[in-house]
Amino acid sequence: MSDLEVCPFDAPLGAEIRGVDISKPLTPSAVETIRTAWHDHLVLLFRDQDMSDAQHFAFTAQFGTLDYPPELLLAIAAGEVRVEDEPMAINVISNVIENGKPIGVLGNGEAFWHSDSTFVEIPPAASLLRSLEVPDSGGDTYFMNMYQALETLPDELRQAIKGKSSKHDAAYSSSGKRRPQFTELDPSKSTGPIHPLERTHPDTGRKSLYLGRRLGSYIVGLPLDESEDLLDRIWDHITEGDFIWAQQWRVGDLVWWDNRCAMHRRDAFDPNVRRTMHRTQLAGDRPY
Ligand code: OGA
Ligand code: MN
């Protein structure tokens, strides 16, 4: 008998998984229960987990192929590094500065709604974020159910995006910072992979809205002003919607989201308080 329990939140997405120590190898039946919960609930929370980075990687690898952090995905896409030469790296999200150098990315500011690394051809299927140090308040992370975002789109908007795709420019990080190597300011002229606005989940078969992020986004084939207008109307609809669950972090939490059918954002927090997370990614799949 296993104590593993799936406890859905009273929210449009998310469930806590209880009764399992994820620092140890899982039984095949636990893997299947957790995988199913991931497909059903989009975001999973595991509390009070004490694990090393090696155990974090090992947990993740039981569900698929590991993927690289964003900056390495970009370097690989640009041909600057070869996958064969590149050891897997943990992605550090932190505002901590040591010896004058940030130990991670994103600082203490807000991170805007986004899916991770959609600026590569095959974005990660999932991100698994584990908290090492957290502020008492601020820095909450919010998740949005993008199946519901699509299902609740007004007919007129649903029609307007039918068969359309958008370009996912890598110029902006989720905190809105520009990556200096991307110099083109016009989203209709910049380079980036094209993904359909409506995508089908390979495991659940359900359709969801797939936006990446607002900054630098462009709907292929439209004049720029029409693309901006349509994107604004879609974003107004979803950010006013009620398909969100919020995670208030405790040390030892691991939150695992489906990057294909959920978006996330993060609140800002006091810059004088340390917040550090380590993240792994599961590789994605195409076509969809
Ligand atoms: C991420 C991210 C949110 C957070 O890890 O992809 O957007 O809460 N971070 O720091
Ligand atoms: Mn992110």
223 pLDDT more than 90: yes
**pLDDT recorded at residue 1:** 55
- 56-86 tens-digit pLDDT: 999 999 999 999 999 999 999 999 999 888 8
Pick the CATH number of 5-282 from 3.40.50.970, 2.40.50.140, 1.10.10.10, 3.60.130.10: 3.60.130.10
Domain boundary assignment for the chain: 5-282
Flag whether pLDDT at 183 surpasses 90: no
Give the pLDDT of residue 2: 74
pLDDT at 226: 98
Q: Tell me if the bond preceding 28 is cis, omega within 30° of 0.
A: no
- CA-to-CA separations, 266 to 107, 140, 226, in angstroms, rounded: 11, 6, 29
Residue 217's DSSP bridge partners are: 168
Residue 8 DSSP symbol: E
The model's pTM: 0.96
Q: What is the pLDDT of residue 133?
A: 98
Q: Residues with Cβ within 5 Å of ion ligand 2? A: 116
Q: What is the pLDDT of residue 288?
A: 77
**Cβ–Cβ < 8 Å for 34, 5:** no
What is the mean pLDDT of the segment spanning 200-221?
A: 97
Q: How far is the C-alpha of 143 from the C-alpha of 138, rounded, in Å?
A: 15
pLDDT of residue 3 exceeding 90, the answer is yes
**Average pLDDT of 34-54?**
98
Rounded CA-CA distance 286/193 in Å is 12
Any residues with Cβ below 6 Å from ligand 1, and which?
A: 93, 106, 111, 116, 127, 129, 141, 174, 264, 266, 277, 279
The pLDDT of residue 200 is: 96
Ligand 1 pocket: which of 277, 280, 281 to mutate (most atoms within 8 A of CB):
277
Average pLDDT over residues 39-55: 98
* Alpha carbon nearest to ligand 1 atom 3, residue: 266
Looking at residue 185, its pLDDT comes to 87
The model's pLDDT over 132-169, given as tens digits with 9 standing for 90+, comes to 999 999 999 999 999 999 999 999 999 999 999 999 99
